[in-house]
Amino acid sequence: MPSPIERAAELVAEASDIVVLSGAGISTESGIPDFRSPGGIWSKYDPSEFTYQNFVSNPEHRVRYWTMGLEIHAVLAGARPNAAHHAVAELERMGKLRALVTQNIDGLHQRAGSSAQRVIEIHGTALWVSCLSCGDRMPREDVHARLHAGESDPACNHCGGILKPATISFGQAMPERETREAFAHAERSDLFMVIGSSLVVHPAAYLPVRAIESGAKLVIVNLEPTPCDRMATALLRGKAGDAMTAVIEAACGLRS
């Protein structure tokens, strides 16, 4: 009986159209806490309070949001990609990666070498800020410089509109193109790999289901159980960095 790592490696070696879905768990080994583990920034701030509705309707809320943003962004900016991000980038170099759908907003996949064309950020990115009125975009650092200079609720320099980090907040519509593309890729994949996601946030959590319905096999790498575990051909209950490194090494061994 092959071990889960050996089974996952066989599936990777056989596949040619892999779609990866990564969640906050892939970045915890880079020092960015996920939402659901104890401790860290999310014990200080309740993410469910930061709804889109609150942000657009309440200037006091925006001030609090930007204060939190300064703290969280410092963590994101100091983080480095880990072995799991590098393993996913290796899947692309092996010519096997069809798409990389990420729920993360930290930009670590691109920094590990995954090409921007393959990465679909379905919850947006924390590295950019956009104007909710005219759509102008600017690097997060530019807005943070204004916060450090004393502004508390910076407005768009062009039209005076509300500026918001380019992430998808609770209650905000999912980005249409990214969501459509993520499902289209899932339906065309022959192997769908979930790495570090609790699979409770929809619609991302429905992607592996759609992939399986379309004939793909499923690999799940996660520390804790997920609602899709019983559908997985290989279930790796461990740290993403160790598990993904072992899978890629074993898959390369099978190819040579």
Binding stretches for ligand NAD (CB under 6 A): 23-25, 27-29, 32, 34-37, 103-106, 123, 196-198, 200-201, 221-224, 239-240
Catalytic, out of 109, 123, 144, 185? 123
Asked if 46 and 35 count as a contact pair (C-beta separation under 8 A), the reply is: no
The Cα diameter of the chain in Å comes to 63
Give the shortest CB-230-to-ligand NAD separation in angstroms.
16
Question: In terms of CB distance, is 103 or 189 closer to ligand NAD?
Answer: 103
Task: Give the residue carrying structure tokens 């768009």.
Answer: 156
Give the shortest CB-247-to-ligand NAD separation in angstroms.
13
Question: In terms of CB distance, is 36 or 80 closer to ligand NAD?
Answer: 36
Alpha-carbon distances of 228 from 120, 171, 232, rounded to whole Å: 21, 24, 7
d(Cα 164, Cα 143) in Å, to the nearest integer?
10
Residue 218's identity, in one-letter code, is L
Say whether 123 is catalytic: yes
Is-cis flag, bond preceding 225, omega within 30? no
Q: Which residue is nearest to ligand NAD (CB)?
A: 25
Task: Give the residue carrying structure tokens 């249409």.
Answer: 176
Question: In terms of CB distance, is 114 or 198 closer to ligand NAD?
Answer: 198
Question: In terms of CB distance, is 81 or 196 closer to ligand NAD?
Answer: 196
Give the shortest CB-156-to-ligand NAD separation in angstroms.
24
Give the shortest CB-129-to-ligand NAD separation in angstroms.
16
Alpha-carbon distances of 186 from 212, 228, 250, rounded to whole Å: 9, 15, 24
Catalytic residue annotation? 123
